[in-house]
């Protein structure tokens, strides 16, 4: 797969990347794709998978958890520990 094709993956929003990845998986599972094309779309699928993982990590880092006071009432938020 060429760098140009993988470069466009880095610009895709999560929803589009996951949709395309699901389409690739379906095509590969059907087994009706020629070997050379299978390898090419598999490589693109790997790039899409990495993009989805990256976007999920970014979203997770932005998620906040609710903190409670001594009475159990919400008192604010703090960053989510992603350890």
- What is the rounded distance in angstroms from the CA atom of residue 38 to the CA atom of residue 28? 7
- pLDDT for position 1: 43
The answer to whether residues 59 and 49 touch, using CB atoms and an 8 Å cutoff, is no
Q: Give average pLDDT by consecutive 10-residue segment, the chain, 83 residues.
A: 70 96 97 95 97 91 74 76 58
- Reduced to 3 states, what is the DSSP secondary structure of residue 12? coil
- What is the rounded distance in angstroms from the CA atom of residue 37 to the CA atom of residue 14? 24
| pTM of this structure | 0.71
- pLDDT for position 82: 55
């Amino acid at each position: 797969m060429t760098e140009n094709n993988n470069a466009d993956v880095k610009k895709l929003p999560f929803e589009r990347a996951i949709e395309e990845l699901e389409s690739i998986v379906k095509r590969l599972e059907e087994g009706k794709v020629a070997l050379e094309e299978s390898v090419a779309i598999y490589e693109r699928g790997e790039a899409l998978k990495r993009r989805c993982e990256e976007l999920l990590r970014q979203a997770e880092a932005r998620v906040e958890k609710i903190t409670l006071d001594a009475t159990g009432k919400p008192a604010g938020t703090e960053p989510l520990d992603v350890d």
